[in-house]
Structure 1
Amino acid sequence: MTVLYDADCPLCTYVRDWLVKRPQLVPLEFVPAGSPAARTRFPGLDHGSTLSEITVVGDGGQVYRGAAAWIVTLWALRDHRRLAHRLSTPSGTRFARGAVLAAAKWRGETASGGGRVYRPADGWTYDPRDGWHHTPPGCGSEACAAP
């Protein structure tokens, strides 16, 4: 399965990195949404929409978006297949949809029009224990440390 993700979104890249580290029952390949590689591999896909919500393309050409994409991605993981089955029920799908909407809200608040943008290229890193940290470009040593 191919997971199309927003390579400019810190949340998306964090989740991609997390998924890569999980044991997979179905191989997952990660391709930046809207990239030349994505456009070449899936010419019939609406690539604009792949930047606004997670999109997964199955090896048979199936396209999953939003909550369904998250569920099928979890289904591919060895340790999360049971959770994926629970999320595929009507009540589980409502929960998954809520999680996707919360992630979208967070992305919207950190996007260029609605708040701070945290991009690794700008010196931002995320530590799950204590949040976002900024190291200005060129400040990898004690030279930029606060007194």
Structure 2
Amino acid sequence: MTGLTVLYDAGCALCTHLRHWLDRQPQLVPLDLVPAGSEEARRRFPALDHGATLEEITVVGDGGQVYRTEDAWIVCLWALAEHRPRAHWLASPAGRPLARMTVLAAARWRAASAGAGCHDGRCGTPLPPH
């Protein structure tokens, strides 16, 4: 695998924060960070359900592999120099429950933030770096 495209919700403060965090990390496999549902995402991946990509993180490998939910988080960590060992552990039977709980916690935070009208990026998520 020589590259991954991460489709993230650009309207979500948490997702945008994590996008900036991923971008700052040393990468073993290059990550191309593209807003989910964007014209660029639709052009690159016409067969994807783009509505679903706005609901859950989706990562597409350069060979057409599609990763969603905890598999997407794990493959993002696998692409990072400092986090590959953690990704291997999260992919194991011992680590997979933690990966799943992390994804569910993020989904609950997003749902609570959306319900509270937190669309201005000030919902308790650290601001992206300047």
1:119 matched to 2:120? The reply is yes
Q: Which structure would you say has the larger RCO, counting Cα contacts within 8 Å and 6 or more residues apart?
A: 2
8 Å CA contact 2:90–2:99 kept in 1: the answer is: yes
What fraction of aligned residue pairs are identical, expressed as a percent? 60
**1:119 Cα deviation (Å)?**
2.1
**1:91 Cα deviation (Å)?**
2.3
1:104 equivalent in structure 2 = 107
The count of aligned residue pairs is 124
Q: Where in structure 1 are there 5+ consecutive unaligned residues? A: 133-147
- Per the alignment, in what secondary structure is the counterpart of residue 94 of structure 2? helix
1:54 equivalent in structure 2 = 57
TM-score w.r.t. structure 1 length?
Answer: 0.80
**1:116 Cα deviation (Å)?**
3.2
Q: What code does the residue aligned with 2:70 have?
A: A
2:18 to 8, 15, 21: 15
1: CA distance, partners of 2:36 / 2:22:
16
TM-score w.r.t. structure 2 length?
Answer: 0.90
1: CA distance, partners of 2:8 / 2:79:
16
Write out aligned runs for 1:65-144 (5 A): 65-111=68-114, 114-120=115-121, 124=122, 128=126
The structure with more radius of gyration = 1
Q: 1:38 to 1:127 in 2, by over 3 A?
A: closer
Q: Where in structure 2 are there 5+ consecutive unaligned residues? A: none
8 Å CA contact 2:5–2:61 kept in 1: the answer is: yes
- Per the alignment, in what secondary structure is the counterpart of residue 59 of structure 2? strand
Q: What code does the residue aligned with 2:107 have?
A: A
Point out 4+ residue stretches in structure 1 off by more than 6 angstroms: none
Structure 1 residues 18-72: Cα deviation after superposition (integer angstroms, max 9, x where no partner): 0100000000000000011000000000101000000000000000000000000
2:40 equivalent in structure 1 = 37
8 Å CA contact 2:13–2:125 kept in 1: the answer is: no
2: CA distance, partners of 1:46 / 1:115:
27
